[in-house]
Structures are given as structure tokens and as C-alpha cells.
Amino acid sequence: MTDAAPSPAAPSWSIDPADVARFSAIAAEWWDPKGKFAPLHVFNPCRLTFIREQALERFDRDGSANAPFEGLSLLDIGCGGGLLSEPMARLGFSVTAIDASEKNIKTAATHASEQGLEIAYRPATAEQLLAEGAGPFDVVLTMEVIEHVADPGEFLRTCARLLKPGGLMIVATLNRTLKALALAKIGAEYVLRWVPPGTHDWKQFLKPEELRAFLAGEPVETHGPFGVTYNPLTGRWGRSTDVDINYMMTVTKG
């Protein structure tokens, strides 16, 4: 998400400027596990496990290897401060990570450099990459991003077009249900204060059938949804059959 206007020559219609500004304003806090992005730090192990499991199965890789995905390319769309990009690089992926916020990219690139990781960070949109002929990529991640864009259908189709034949895309988002309104919006933002008020717009949450419909004309197959829930007793996130709030879907091409 960006506070710097995209090039007029580059398609960028999925961007929501208000969300770009909101995330840019707190970009420096991405790597503070007790800061404004603390919920993502808690959520990250669950996301990473799911991505790893799905990629191991899709590409028939050896999970006991130190870098099981060596030789595969990965695009992290809406990468923020790099909370997913860095673990993916450690798993062996050649990582390209984009975000429309230049402040987020600067934070992510600085942190990766401090860790000795080579990640191709750049401030850009998915539409810009597609227009430039970038990729395609073996894996495309769009995690907790689609509910923040202005045109989710066009955004998701663009992401799918950046995927190689045989590739895997993983989408994570929030379901537009009354339960999600009560817990993920009102509860998380105004009661528990997990995220700053105004972070989410419940009307932008998406139902799984809507994601499938967005991709109906593309040469891909969608799988899921796979539910994700928070256990307040353990303080951890885990896989669940409950898709009423958080869920993930996988998309495969060819």
C-alpha cells in the first residue's frame, strides 16, 4: 500500500489510498512484537505453517531439507514490513516482495539487510508488475491484503495472472459475516484494541464464494476455504473448520 502515487502509465486501480496512508503511518512498527502489528506476530506461525505445508505438497519437496524450496520463485504481494517474506527466503525461495507503501518497503528492506537476507523489495502494485511483464512466479502470496483494496476482483485476477503454470497462490482474508463484524471488527479494534480503530472496513470483507466467482474466468482452480481461529486459552492461532471469521484459500494453475 503506498503514500507515493503510482506512475500514471502503470495500471493501479486496485489501490485504496486511504488504506495506503493508514499503513504507511505506522510502517516503523512492523518488527515490534508488542507494537501495533503484535496480532500479526502472533498470527504468523499459523500462516507460515499453512504456506509451508501447501507448498511442500504442491511442489513435492522434502520437508526435512534446510531450504526445501530452493530454485522456486515467490511473490509476496502487500508484504508490509516483510513478516512473511523473510521466513520464505530462509526456506529457500527466491523472494520478490512488493507493497504500495514506500515506507513499508524501506522498513522491510532495512530489516532484511540486517538479517543478511537477499529479498527483492520494491514499492509497486500487482498491476504494475503484470504490466511490466514481471514473473511469472511459482508461488504468489496475498495474505490479509484483498480486504484493503478498492477492486478486489481485478486485484485477485491480476495476482492469478502473475502465477506460473503449475504454480500455487494462497489468499488469506476475513469473511463478511455478523460473527466477523462482532469479533474481527468491533471486538479486535474497539474492545481488545488488537489493531488500531479503523484498520478494517467490514463491508470490504469477502465471502469464499465471492473469491471463487472473481476467478471464474481464469485458468485456475480454487480450493478451500480453510478456517483459522484464535484460542484465547493458549494465545495461539490454529487451523479450524470454522471459516466464519478468518480463512485461507489456495489457487492452483495447470
- Tell me: is residue 143 an annotated ligand-binding position: yes
User: What nine digits make up the cell of 39?
Assistant: 496480532
How far apart are the C-alpha atoms of 168 and 75, rounded to whole Å? Answer: 11
- Judged by phi (left if over 0) then psi (alpha if -120 to 50, else beta), residue 96 lies in beta
- Tell me: is residue 169 an annotated ligand-binding position: no
Only one residue has cell 478468518, namely 246
Contact 51, 88 (CB under 8 A): yes
Three-state DSSP class for residue 18: helix
* Residue 201 CB neighbour total at 10 angstroms: 13
Contact 125, 38 (CB under 8 A): no
User: What nine digits make up the cell of 236?
Assistant: 495461539
Residue 28 class from Cβ within 10 Å (0-12 exposed, 13-18 middle, 19+ buried)? middle
DSSP 241: S
Which residues, in sequence order, are CB contacts of 195 under 8 Å at separation 6+?
A: 36, 39, 188, 189
- Tell me: is residue 22 an annotated ligand-binding position: no
Q: Could you tell me the end-to-end alpha-carbon distance of the chain, in angstroms, rounded to an integer?
A: 30
Beta partners for residue 250, in sequence order: 170, 223
- Tell me: is residue 47 an annotated ligand-binding position: yes
Binding-site positions for S-adenosyl-L-methionine read: 47, 78, 99, 143
Binding-site positions read: 47, 78, 99, 143
